Amino acid sequence: MEITCAEALVRCLEMEGVELIFGYPGGAILPVYDALKDSKIKHILTRHEQGAAHAASGYARTTGRVGVCMATSGPGATNLVTGLANAYMDSIPLVAITGQVPTVQVGTDAFQEVDITGITMPITKHNYLVKDPKMLPMIVKRAFHIARTGRPGPVLIDLPKDIAMTPIQFKYPDDVKLMGYKPTVKGHGAQINQAAKLIMQAQRPVIYIGGGVVNANASEELVWLAETIDAPVVSTLMGLGAFPGDHPLFLGMLGLHGNKAANLAVTECDLLITLGARFDDRVTGRVAGFAPRARVIHVDIDPAEISKNVISHLPIVGDTKKVLEALLVRLDKKQNTTWINTVGYWKHEFAPRYRPGGEYLKPQYIIEEIYRHTGGDVIVATDVGQHQMWVAQHFAFKYPRKFVTSGGLGCMGFGLPGAIGAQFGRPDETVVLVTGDGSFQMTLNELATAAEQSLPLKIFVLNNRRLGMVRQLQEFYCDKRYMAVDFTFVPDFAALARVYGFKGFTVRTDQELQTALTEAFSDQGPVLVDCAIDPDENVMPMVLAGADICDALDYE
Amino acid sequence: MYHTLAVLVENSPGVLARVAGLFSRRGYNIDSLAVGRTDNPAISRMTIVVEGDERVLEQVSKQLHKLVDVIKISDITSSPHVDRELVLIKVNTDAGSRGEIMQIAQIFRANIVDYGHKNLTLECTGNQEKINAFEEALRPFGIKELVRTGKVAMLRGAKYTNINRTKEED
Ligand SMILES: Cc1ncc(C[n+]2csc(CCOP(=O)(O)OP(=O)(O)O)c2C)c(N)n1
């Protein structure tokens, strides 16, 4: 029996096990929505396509499954772009489906036509414009395969309206053959042997982890590795939670706002074991000053990351979990007592800190209190800015896929829709959003989505009535010439949230904070807590541009 | 240093844009790019000449590899290979200069492919140095129009680049 391509698409999605689609309809995608009407796949109507893309990303980040978002042609498609770029930078598996004008109109500047495959070429892992209706099932199969295998990433399928309505004989292909796409999963045996040798010889090893460990679900193997070889662990923003934040061997985040102990350990180590991390500029500071005394082992699923920014002495291309499994059987238990004592001293001496006191609540204190009230056993989504760094520094994530944040793109506005997606991914868990007053105002339209879907989000706005992170940059780099960073109008977020059915609190004192926290985590429903924080607080430590990561500015 | 890459790609729409976009986006310098289909109509072959040191080349290859449509990349620069380029040049002529131009054509084994009262069109094939020399030889007569295909290249001897591997045939 023949069915339309739109119906075939929905069937394909069902066969891929898709349970949710975040999307927004329109003319060119009408046939697909019509077909969705008869499917058991749940469609979540967001309030903006950017929200749909970010929500799909939040879902994928917390579940490890492929997130799916959908939009119409033209403006619908361009509104997805930021979300796709965000997913691309953080290696998050997404499939985005966009409607397109009918084939005969493609290339004529038709109403609501944009070349979305052209636009998204640099920010998707791959994309397809469907030209032959018969190819649709194969394209969907390939899209999911590409999105979730190797280094994950977003894949876009652009479907012209006439093709969506064309009948085809439906058969979902069983396997995918792609001549040009065969990710290396298993590490090279000889390289792994060599790595084992280097590790056994090392006296001051450090394990440097990134989002690749999360993507590979390699946390267990990582803990074994660290404990077997007695090596401290430092993490990128994206890696937080992949190694237990309360583990004695954990030194916290490294890099520009990294913990001093983490940065010192990297600077002094003689072997840097890099797992699923990519030596981003926010991590390395001045490249020549990064791990200057170390030999570098680099395990990554993406060969292009090897020696891209920092030369690696021993590259191992492969899936981190598979490589660690192979490595562990080649290792003996060892101890690096002197090194661990040194590192332990740093960890204690330079624990994340802040200056208490003053008339305002300290943002770092609020993060610590959220941790205390929840036992740390919640999902935390953030936006981008100072508040994000304070969460990274002061919330000791114990498990992977609990920290939902925009790393590579640093995309303000990700927080709320990201939290919505996370809550759909993990309906039984508490989802906390820590946002800033600037970021929150970028996508707070999605409060309506959260309300409509009865999501019990716990939102904390760290409200400094300004773009705190940019103000901090201007303090250090522009001689305190503050420009375009202060809001002279800030809405009453608690009142605003109430309009959307949230319980809203405004807190200025510790006592008010405690009441709100207790309410937030005992109430079953959605709560927003607007926290007035010190507008002049800085994120410390801070490595200035061009400096080595061991030379960070800090409180006196 | 210039490197010559032989790149096999799936003959899918947009593949040229993907490859070209990658080069411009990552700031790699393409010196020339020639593309056409292979004996297998589903596969095209690109010969890309790119400038950069070893480190840049390694990144270029790896980034190209990440493109799903790219099947195989071989840097054939340091292996013995033949490379050829074709040029068409339309040059001014009059009764006085025609003979000399035809002599030049002979020296370079070029063909005259179009003949007019005021101009001649010549076709010449060879490696880049030869094409450059040919162009210089004709320049004094006044070049009206010139088009080069960009270089195509192939390994010498029993070595070959195909979709399965680059290898020595036993
Ligand atoms: C979409 C987007 N636009 C601009 C920026 C640049 N930027 C980085 S942090 C920041 C300020 C964020 O302010 P807020 O959300 O209030 O957080 P705070 O730093 O005050 O905690 C800005 C404007 C960005 N990261 N993303």
Three-class secondary structure assignment of chain B:
CEEEEEEEEECCCCHHHHHHHHHHHCCCEEEEEEEEECCCCCEEEEEEEEECCHHHHHHHHHHHHHCCCEEEEEECCCCCEEEEEEEEEEEECCHHHHHHHHHHHHHCCCEEEEECCCEEEEEEEECHHHHHHHHHHHHHHCEEEEEECCCEEEECCCEEECCCCEEECC
Q: How far apart are CA A318 and CA A184, in angstroms?
A: 5
Q: Which residue has the tokens 């036993």?
A: B170
CA angle A518, A523, A527 (to 5 degrees): 85
Q: How far apart are CA B131 and CA A486, in angstroms?
A: 63
Nearest CA to ligand 1 atom 20: A468
Query: Phi/psi at A69 (nearest 5 deg)?
Result: -130, 160
B12 and B55, same domain (yes or no): yes
SS3 A234: strand
The reply to whether B43 falls in a domain is yes
Interval between CA A31 and ligand 1 midpoint (Å) = 38
What are the residues facing B33 on neighbouring strands?
B48
The reply to whether B36 falls in a domain is yes
Residue of A411, A439, A487, A534 best suited for mutating to test ligand 1, as the one with most atoms within 8 Å of CB? A439
- Best of A103, A121, A302 to mutate (most B CBs within 10 Å, chain B): A121
* pLDDT of amino acid A77: 98
Q: How far apart are CA A71 and CA A28, in angstroms?
A: 9
Mean pLDDT, rounded, for B105-109: 97
Q: Which of A75, A79, A155, A158 is nearest to A123 (CA)?
A: A155
Q: Catalytic residue among A112, A194, A453, A474, which?
A: A112
CATH 3.40.50.1220 range(s) for chain A read: 189-349
DSSP-derived secondary structure for A271-304: EEEEES----HHHHBSGGGSSTT-EEEEEES-GG
B96 and B114, same domain (yes or no): yes
Domain A189-349 has CATH 3.30.2290.10: no
B86 and B63, same domain (yes or no): no
B51 and B118, same domain (yes or no): no
Per the structure, the complete domain to which residue B29 belongs is given by 2-78
B60 and B114, same domain (yes or no): no
The reply to whether B160 falls in a domain is no
Q: Which of B146, B137, B126 is nearest to B97 (CA)?
A: B137
pLDDT band per the 50, 70, 90 thresholds, residue B166: very low
Residues in A closer than 8 angstroms to B23, CB to CB, are none
Q: How far apart are CA B14 and CA B44, in angstroms?
A: 12
What is the mean pLDDT of each successive set of 10 residues along chain A, which is 556 residues long?
96 98 98 98 98 98 98 98 98 98 97 98 98 97 98 98 98 92 95 98 98 98 98 98 98 98 98 98 96 98 96 97 98 97 97 89 97 97 98 98 98 98 98 98 98 98 98 98 98 98 98 98 97 97 96 89
Superfamily (CATH) of domain A363-532:
Thiamin diphosphate (ThDP)-binding fold, Pyr/PP domains (3.40.50.970)
The reply to whether B117 falls in a domain is yes
CATH 3.40.50.970 range(s) for chain A read: 2-169, 363-532
pLDDT of B140 > 50? The answer is: yes
**Given B62, B78, B94, which residue is the final one in a domain?**
B78
The reply to whether B163 falls in a domain is no
Query: Which numeric CATH code is attached to A2-169?
Result: 3.40.50.970
Rounded to the nearest angstrom, the minimum Cα separation between B124 and chain A is 35
What are the residues facing A43 on neighbouring strands?
A21
Neighbours of A170 (CB within 10 A): 17
Residues in A closer than 8 angstroms to B43, CB to CB, are 179
Three-class secondary structure assignment of A140-208:
HHHHHHHHHCCCCCEEEEEEEHHHHCCEEECCCCCCCCCCCCCCCCCCCHHHHHHHHHHHHHCCCEEEE
What are the residues facing A166 on neighbouring strands?
none
How many domains is chain B built from?
2
Cβ–Cβ of A126/B13 closer than 8 Å? no
Q: Which of A371, A381, A454, A367 is nearest to A422 (CA)?
A: A381
CATH no. for residue B33? 3.30.70.260
Q: How far apart are CA A118 and CA A124, in angstroms?
A: 10
What pTM did the predictor assign? 0.96
Q: Which atom of ligand 1 is found nearest the CA of A387?
A: 21
Tokens of B163: 């979709």
B58 and B71, same domain (yes or no): yes
**Given B78, B108, B131, which residue is the final one in a domain?**
B78
B47 and B105, same domain (yes or no): no
Interval between CA A386 and ligand 1 midpoint (Å) = 8
Up-side HSE of residue A275: CA atoms within 13 Å toward CB?
34
| Mean pLDDT value across chain B | 92
* pLDDT of amino acid A356: 86
The reply to whether B47 falls in a domain is yes
B64 and B28, same domain (yes or no): yes
Quote the ipTM score.
0.90
DSSP A66: P
Cβ–Cβ of B68/A180 closer than 8 Å? yes
Q: Catalytic residue among A221, A469, A505, A540, which?
A: A469
pLDDT band per the 50, 70, 90 thresholds, residue B157: confident
A552, A378 contact by CB (below 8 A): no
Q: How far apart are CA A463 and CA A438, in angstroms?
A: 8
B108, B137 contact by CB (below 8 A): yes
Cβ–Cβ of B163/A308 closer than 8 Å? no
Interval between CA A23 and ligand 1 midpoint (Å) = 26
The reply to whether B44 falls in a domain is yes
B66 and B101, same domain (yes or no): no
pLDDT band per the 50, 70, 90 thresholds, residue B164: low
- B41 interfaces chain A, CB cutoff of 8 Å: no
- B37 interfaces chain A, CB cutoff of 8 Å: no
CA A464 vs. chain centroid, Å, equals 24
B66 and B22, same domain (yes or no): yes
Catalytic site includes residue A135: no
Residue of A nearest to B9 (CA): A180
The reply to whether B29 falls in a domain is yes
**Given B78, B108, B125, which residue is the final one in a domain?**
B78
B14 and B65, same domain (yes or no): yes
B22 and B88, same domain (yes or no): no
Q: Calculate what percentage of chain B has a pLDDT beyond 90.
A: 85
CATH no. for residue B106? 3.30.70.1150
Q: How far apart are CA A462 and CA A358, in angstroms?
A: 16
A242, A218 contact by CB (below 8 A): yes
